[in-house]
Structure 1
């Protein structure tokens, strides 16, 4: 069996910088037509110059592959409308992190004071710049996303013309919120479609499956599967592929992040095939994102066939992928 995916898009991708960027950028650019690049570097990407300089580094690191890095700014409440007008053509979205909630998010938002946020959000709304949100509170780790839903609702109600993307949703509550507000959308990762918390910590701890937001309960995974496999028009693929060096994952104080970029399409094809939904994979990994963001990525066809693919144990003696050393049922046979 063979399938062809046109213009696959990853609408939530961490490429890091420096040596890590050189390792991981080609692994996404080989099989994806484009990706939304997260801005939580050190320091975070907050200026026009930083956006363009980071894009140049990505373009160089992606090698010869056809691939568009769609850039983002790290949200700040003091962005002026004049600044956003100047940078608008260089970015696709702005990413909001609650302060300290995940990797390199210390400069994020502390509290969600509507008056403090409104200047930037009104300007974004007027200029048509989407807001991407890491939606977690600082509460008990299993409840953080569900506790954040009222904040999404506050934002959706007060800024009805602002396109809001709930990033890497993991709960049935977030899925339910999708259909309550016209301006709420969502990305879903590969790993949250596959695993629950039991896979991470039910037996021996699996550090390469530890991520934020943390994997949740079986009923949450079922809710995610229902909308992803069903090609819900407001849901799109965002890997949240988050590479860390092996010694940062297999260590006390394990870094949060699952590295899925090089095996994402193979594993998604396996999952959609298992559930008899291969015809909806194109919408999930491309068509919905094109429509939601209003983008036309460079043309790329990725051909996958149903035959065994052995996932590498490690890339460049540094980064361990999800399913390391395991066999998947689908492989990429051509991309270009």
Structure 2
């Protein structure tokens, strides 16, 4: 009998579900195996008010059908949000997501400066109300240095707002890992693909468009730092796939869209990775326990049973090409039990 592994209430704390036809096409890929996810708000136009949050959540619930899955909703951060507005929307959201203006997909309306005093009213209200701040941390500098350059901004905000939970999203550098130890209110999500690849995998030979993402994959020593904290399930890190679907024609094109689609294979490949490093006992905290504690959420009860049985990844899921398309991975999903 093949080796089996049970994962209880897995969570994806950084997920793009898009909208419209794309939402309908890919939402179940996450909702089938995950109990819940932090949903990114960078739609066109972005999600910026209570009515839009409620409407978007409704569209997600319709798209996932009978799956047991909790979408933890977010607002697209604006420094104009006042306390009264945040109080009015607090029960509908789990966090706010801050994007530097123009730094990634659909982020043109993001923050163009990080003056503490300009941000203070909104961030103080968030701190008082217990609303976490998720940040895509990159500057407009040289692409390989953008995240490392942003660490000083993380530290400035963490110092100015010590009671505010700040989530460094999809970290990719040794410098970001080191920042975790410097401030008690800094936390981080780590993707599957950044635990596996470096820039060499993306562009070292023939260009691999389906591995191109933002933040871009970095150097071997950066991947090593990420692996060290993920594999020991450091209490301040949690899994966030940053699974970001784009149509095949938008990836295999001049002006390749940024994003790696990992939702359908994330749990299976994480199990393989943690097993390889003799760390399967720490996978539950990385994939669930830490996130529940950091965010204070209780997701729907779900057991995902993985089986050590080879699985060939489909070439596409409704027109979206996943990571490892056409390749064989070690684990398959045997069954999902709800309740």
Q: TM-score, normalised by structure 1?
A: 0.99
Match of residue 137, structure 1, among 122, 136, 139: 139
Of 24, 48, 53, the residue aligned with 1:22 is: 24
- What is aligned with 1:35? 37
Instruction: State the match for 1:320 in structure 2.
Output: 321
2:178 aligns with 176
- Which residue pairs with 2:167 in the alignment? 165
Report the secondary structure of 1:94's partner residue: strand
Write the distance in 2 (CA, Å) between the matches of 1:309 and 1:179.
38
Q: 2:264 aligns with which of 241, 256, 262?
A: 262
3-state SS in 1 of match to 2:128: helix
Q: Deviations over 1:214-237 (max 9, x none)?
A: 000000000000000011000000
Q: State the Cα distance separating 1:116 from its structure 2 match.
A: 1.1
Runs of 4+ in structure 1 off by over 3 angstroms are none
SS of corresponding position for 1:262: coil
Equivalence for 1:330: 331
- Deviation string 1:36-71 (CA, Å, 9 cap, x unpaired) is 000000000000000000000000001111000000
Give RMSD over aligned pairs: 0.4
Paired with 2:76 and 2:123, the residues of 1 have a C-alpha distance of 13
1:13 corresponds to 2:15: yes
Question: Which of the residues 93, 96, 99 maps onto 1:94?
Answer: 96
Distance in structure 2 (CA, Å) of the matches to 1:161 and 1:115 = 16
Partner SS, residue 264 of structure 2 = helix
- Distance apart, 1:327 and its partner CA: 0.4
Q: How does 1:76-95 map to 2 (within 5 A)?
A: 76-95=78-97
Give the alignment partner of residue 293 of structure 1, picking from 292, 295, 310. 295
Structure 1 gap segments, 5+ residues each: none
- Residue 315 of structure 1 and its aligned partner are, at CA, apart by 1.0
Q: Match for 2:276 among 268, 274, 277?
A: 274
Deviation per residue, 1:46-105 (Å, 9 max, x gap): 000000000000000011110000000000000010010010010000000000000000
Work out whether 1:249 is the aligned partner of 2:251: yes
> Which digits, 9 at most, give the CA deviation of each residue in 1:192-231, with x for residues without a partner?
0000000000000000000000000000000000000011
Instruction: Specify the alignment match of 1:154 in structure 2.
Output: 156
Q: Which of 54, 62, 65 is the aligned partner of 2:64? A: 62
Distance 1:309 1:266 in 2: 9
Q: Secondary structure at the match of 2:107?
A: coil
Cα distance in 2 for residues equivalent to 1:223 and 1:55: 35
Q: Deviations over 1:301-325 (max 9, x none)?
A: 0011111011000111x10000000
Distance in 2 between residues matched to 1:12 and 1:321, nearest whole Å: 17
Is residue 2:189 matched to residue 1:199?
no
Partner of 1:217: 219
5+ residue gaps, structure 2, are: none
